[in-house]
Every structure is written in structure tokens, then in C-alpha cells.
């Protein structure tokens, strides 16, 4: 087994951002899936919160601590290929920050979440007489296209989040590496090298 040491990886701002995003996305999905006259506005409000969180994450990725920098999310091809050779080993990977595969997952979730929230700005929920704040700037035909993209991308982000949770369980059960706890307390077991 690799020699591991405990290191502070995730700062408090990133951890708070992550959990606010998790709660916001779950509630937004719920209010979107089970939309009614009473919940439609909450779906919109949470969409604005999520879009704000995405803007913050992009800015924090430029000025925040090293482990969460946006440039750190883009793995080298060689690192990804090397990581894929060991992904099924029954030992902790001990990667500081995101492992190369996790980085790709995070990039995909961020990109699709930004797309879902952005398309929501243009949509019209005619059944509930609610409109995104930018809906008035597009034709009904274009708004319908945004509605379709919003729905499709919502399904895509749901699948990506499901894969993210499945990966966390895989690491916990198969690799004996708890990746959830570091996002709560900030400390993670990483390789000494």
C-alpha cells in the first residue's frame, strides 16, 4: 500500500460552496420534476442561486487556493492514462485534490450545470405562467428550443451527478478511500510523493 499522510486540501469556502450547491441542485431538481403553481418560483430562484454559485466557482477557481484552481482541473493525458491503469486497484489512490478521472467529472458537471442554469434564463413555463428573465429577448420558437435544451441538459446533469455519487461509493467500498469526509472536514489522506 502506498505511504499516505494527512493533508489539508479543501478550504472552508470551497467546502461550503460544494454543499450549498448540492442542496440547491437537489431542491431545484425536485421543484422542477414536481413543478406546481406553488413550487415553480422556487425552481427559478434556486436556478439563480446555482448560476451565482457557478460564477463564484469560476472566479474562485482563478484566485482561490491551489487545489481548487481551474487549471488544476485539467489533467495531462499521461496522468489520466496512468491513473486509468490503477483505478481498479484495491487501495486508496491518495491523490491530492481530484484524481484525473474525478477532474474530468468535475469539469463535465460544472459545464453542464452552467448550461442548464443559463438556458433556464430564457425558458417559458406556459403551464405556470412563469418566464426566465431573458425570455422577452427571444422569440417563442427560440424559447421553445431553450426549453428543450434545459430539459435535456437537466437529465444529463442528473446522470453525471449520479455517476459522481456512484464513484464516491466505489472509492469508499472498493478502494477504501473516503472522498466524502475530506469535503466536510478539509483533510485528506494523500501520497507522500
Is the distance from CB of 96 to CB of 9 less than 8 angstroms? yes
Domains identified in the chain and CATH numbers: 8-188 (1.20.950.20)
Q: Three-class SS string for 124-144?
A: EECCCCEECCCHHHCCHHHHH
pLDDT at 2: 62
> What is the distance in angstroms between the CA of the first residue and the CA of the last residue of the chain?
13
Spatial neighbors of 112 by CB under 8 A, at least 6 apart, are: 153, 156, 157, 160
Assigned C-alpha cell, 1: 500500500
What does the alpha-carbon distance between residue 161 and residue 112 come to, in Å, rounded to a whole number?
11
Q: Is 159 helix (H, G, I), strand (E, B) or coil?
A: helix
Per the CB < 8 A criterion, the answer to whether 108 and 163 are in contact is: no
Taking the chain (193 residues) in consecutive chunks of 10 residues, what is each chunk's mean pLDDT? 84 97 96 86 95 97 92 93 94 90 95 96 82 92 94 96 96 95 94 76
pLDDT at 193: 65
Q: Is residue 119 within 8 Å of residue 149, measured between CB atoms?
A: yes
What would the grid cell of residue 100 be? Answer: 484525473
pLDDT, position 35:
84
Q: Sort 177 into a burial class: Cβ within 10 Å, 0-12 / 13-18 / 19+.
A: buried
Q: What is the pTM of this model?
A: 0.90
Alpha carbons 30 and 25: distance in angstroms, whole number: 8
DSSP label at residue 179:
S
pLDDT of residue 128: 72
Nearest Cα to 140, choosing from 157, 155, 123? 123
Amino acid at each position: 500500500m502506498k505511504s499516505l499522510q494527512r493533508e489539508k486540501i479543501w478550504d472552508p469556502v470551497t467546502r461550503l460552496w460544494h454543499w450549498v450547491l448540492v442542496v440547491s441542485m437537489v431542491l431545484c431538481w425536485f421543484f422542477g420534476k414536481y413543478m406546481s403553481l406553488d413550487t415553480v418560483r422556487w425552481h427559478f430562484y434556486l436556478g439563480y442561486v446555482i448560476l451565482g454559485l457557478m460564477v463564484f466557482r469560476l472566479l474562485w477557481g482563478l484566485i482561490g487556493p491551489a487545489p481548487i484552481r481551474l487549471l488544476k482541473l485539467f489533467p495531462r493525458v499521461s496522468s489520466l492514462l496512468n491513473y486509468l491503469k490503477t483505478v481498479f486497484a484495491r487501495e486508496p489512490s491518495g491523490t491530492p485534490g481530484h484524481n484525473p478521472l474525478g477532474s474530468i467529472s468535475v469539469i463535465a458537471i460544472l459545464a453542464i450545470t452552467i448550461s442548464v442554469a443559463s438556458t433556464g434564463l430564457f425558458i417559458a413555463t406556459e403551464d405556470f405562467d412563469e418566464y426566465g428573465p431573458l425570455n422577452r429577448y427571444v422569440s417563442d420558437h427560440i424559447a421553445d428550443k431553450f426549453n428543450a435544451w434545459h430539459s435535456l441538459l437537466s437529465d444529463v446533469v442528473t446522470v453525471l451527478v449520479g455517476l459522481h455519487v456512484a464513484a464516491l461509493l466505489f472509492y469508499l467500498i472498493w478502494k477504501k478511500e473516503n472522498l466524502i469526509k475530506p469535503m466536510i472536514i478539509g483533510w485528506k489522506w494523500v501520497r507522500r510523493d
